[in-house]
C-alpha cells in the first residue's frame, strides 16, 4: 500500500515511529532540531530516534555534509555530535556533491520517501510531498539501496567539511 502525504506526513511518521522498532535507517539531507523547543516536530523525531537507540534499536543515519558555514551544515553538525555522543553511527556521502535524498526505513516493513526534510519548516509545510510505502517488495528494494550506500565506498563516516579557502572569504 502506498499513501501520498503532504501536511499529514509528520502524523503518519510519528504514528509509525511510536512503535518499538529494532531497526531504523535514515537517509537525510538535513536534520534540524531545536534542542530547547521540544514541541517542534523535528525535535520530537530527533528525540524519538535517540529513545529507540536507547531501547536497543539499531539506528543508522546517512546525512548530507554541506560545506561548513552553510545553514544545513550547522544543523547536521549539531545533530551528528548529539547522535555520536550516544553511540548512533552516522555516515555521509563520499563525493563532494550534496546528498539530497530523503528516506526513512522502519524495519523492513515501512518506508517514507519524498521531499520532506527533517526540519520544522518542512514537517509543517503543506507544500511538501512524500509517500508512505507498506509494500514489502518496494521496501526491501529501498532497504537494499540504503544498505548499499551504508556499506560501500559511496559513503564514509560523518566528518565536518570545510569550505575551500577560495570560497571562505567571498
Judged against a pLDDT cut of 90, whether residue 139 lies above it is answered with yes
The owner of cell 560501500 is 152
86 alpha carbon, distance to own chain's centre? 17
pLDDT tens for 90-130 read 888 777 776 778 999 999 999 999 988 777 777 888 899 99
How far, in Å, CA of 6 to CA of 121, rounded?
13
pLDDT tens for 54-83 read 999 999 998 877 665 566 666 767 777 888
- For 68-125, the DSSP string reads TTSHHHHHHHHHHHHHHHTT--EEEESSSS-----EEEETTTEEEEES--EEHHHHH-
pLDDT tens for 17-33 read 999 999 999 998 777 77
Looking at residue 6, the DSSP 8-state letter turns out to be: S
CATH superfamily placement of domain 2-162? Endonuclease Chain A (3.30.870.10)
How do the domains of the chain map onto residue ranges?
2-162
Q: What whole-number percentage of the chain has pLDDT above 90?
A: 44
Amino acid at each position: 500500500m502506498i499513501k501520498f502525504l503532504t501536511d499529514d506526513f509528520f502524523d503518519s511518521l510519528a504514528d509509525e515511529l511510536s512503535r518499538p522498532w529494532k531497526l531504523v535507517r535514515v537517509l537525510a539531507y538535513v536534520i534540524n532540531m531545536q534542542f530547547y523547543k521540544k514541541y517542534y516536530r523535528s525535535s520530537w523525531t530527533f528525540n524519538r530516534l535517540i529513545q529507540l537507540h536507547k531501547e536497543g534499536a539499531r539506528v543508522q543515519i546517512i546525512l548530507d555534509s554541506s560545506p561548513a558555514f552553510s545553514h544545513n551544515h550547522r544543523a547536521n553538525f549539531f545533530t551528528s555530535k548529539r547522535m555520536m555522543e550516544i553511540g548512533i553511527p552516522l555516515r555521509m556521502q563520499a563525493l563532494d556533491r550534496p546528498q539530497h535524498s530523503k528516506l526513512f526505513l522502519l524495519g523492513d516493513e515501512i518506508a517514507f520517501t519524498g521531499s520532506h526534510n527533517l526540519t520544522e519548516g518542512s514537517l509543517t509545510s503543506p507544500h511538501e510531498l512524500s509517500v508512505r510505502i507498506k509494500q514489502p517488495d518496494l521496501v526491501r528494494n529501498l532497504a537494499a539501496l540504503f544498505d548499499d550506500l551504508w556499506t560501500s565506498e559511496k559513503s564514509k563516516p560523518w566528518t565536518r567539511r570545510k569550505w575551500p579557502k577560495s570560497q571562505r572569504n567571498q
